[in-house]
Amino acid sequence: DVKVTQSSRYLVKRTGEKVFLECVQDMDHENMFWYRQDPGLGLRLIYFSYDVKMKEKGDIPEGYSVSREKKERFSLILESASTNQTSMYLCASRPATDSSGNTIYFGEGSWLTVV
Amino acid sequence: GQNIDQPTEMTATEGAIVQINCTYQTSGFNGLFWYQQHAGEAPTFLSYNVLDGLEEKGRFSSFLSRSKGYSYLLLKELQMKDSASYLCAVRELLVTGNTPLVFGKGTRLSVIA
């Protein structure tokens, strides 16, 4: 059974703290994604990675960085958390080639509150 | 860049049919997806269209017109459990050759008795 695991479901952090959100997939997928979801704004792409050590900015990369040192793990880093980064963060993965087009898998989400 | 539009909210009656529309503008198109998301949960895949026409899967169907930048999701024989958000997403082909999935803001569907 396919699995995308986000290490923390609920986090509360203070403004200015460095925050790590971890995501691990066990499907040997090349592509991994980080989104955030906010009411009225939908799912917005922060960063994605198409291979180990490779990354590309999404629509809202400001205030975030990512790390992909191993194929199965994609980390989202908030260098200095701010209250406007309070959100639900979703990790997803997908193989490089998917003939059916439907094989994107989501983790369960991480709810981050910055106070 | 991309722009994906869908209605914010819709209400429909149990047993009825509802159509959720999605229009999109992208610099490079590589497929359109529909996802269902219940409150507090991750999105789950419903359908995928890459060619024009209708794809049917049980009570759910999805239509695509690439020339019009238009898709719809059709839900038949609505059930209370269909109350959820429905997300339209476009797989965008970037100049880098990468194909991230970009989502619309979602349509919150309420099914009433």
Per-residue pLDDT reduced to its tens digit, B56-111: 989 999 999 999 999 999 999 999 999 999 999 998 887 877 788 889 999 999 99
Nearest chain A residue (CA) to B50 = A101
List chain B residues with CB under 8 Å of A45: 100-103
Q: Does the distance separating the beta carbons of A43 and B43 come in below 8 Å? A: yes
The tokens for B102 are 């970009």
Sheet holding A4-6, edge to edge: A4-6, A19-25, A73-78, A65-70
**For range A28-38, the mean pLDDT:** 94
Please indicate if any CB of chain B lies within 8 Å of the CB of A43.
yes
Contacts of B47 (CB under 8 A, 6+ apart): A102, B33, B34, B55, B57, B60, B61, B62, B73
Q: Does the distance separating the beta carbons of A42 and B43 come in below 8 Å? A: no
Over residues B26-52, the pLDDT tens digits come to 888 889 999 999 998 999 989 999 999
Is residue A73 within 8 A of residue A55, CB to CB? The reply is no
Please indicate if any CB of chain B lies within 8 Å of the CB of A2.
no
